[in-house]
Amino acid sequence: MFRSVEAIIEKNGEVRLKEPVRLASSCRAIVTILDEKLDAIAETALLSEATLSEDWNRPEEDEAWSHLQKAR
């Protein structure tokens, strides 16, 4: 089973978990270092949604996906 836990990595490489983790035994982990703060990532996603919605909300898109809609 996979589980994600938010953490802060200090300049010296020390990893501080933002919540306690209890395990039955030792296990391996993968650490992903984010270059941006999570707030910036969320903001980018919101800005992208507005831009993409212009493309998604075109009649051509509705027609292309109409075969997946239930009959009314």
What pLDDT digit, counting tens, does each position of 19-72 carry? 999 999 999 998 888 776 666 667 677 677 777 777 778 888 888 888 887 765
Q: Supply the pTM of this predicted model.
A: 0.44
Question: How far apart, in whole angstroms, are the C-alpha atoms of residue 48 and residue 25?
Answer: 42
pLDDT of the residue at 22:
92
Question: How far apart, in whole angstroms, are the C-alpha atoms of residue 54 and residue 31?
Answer: 36
Please name the amino acid found at residue 6.
E
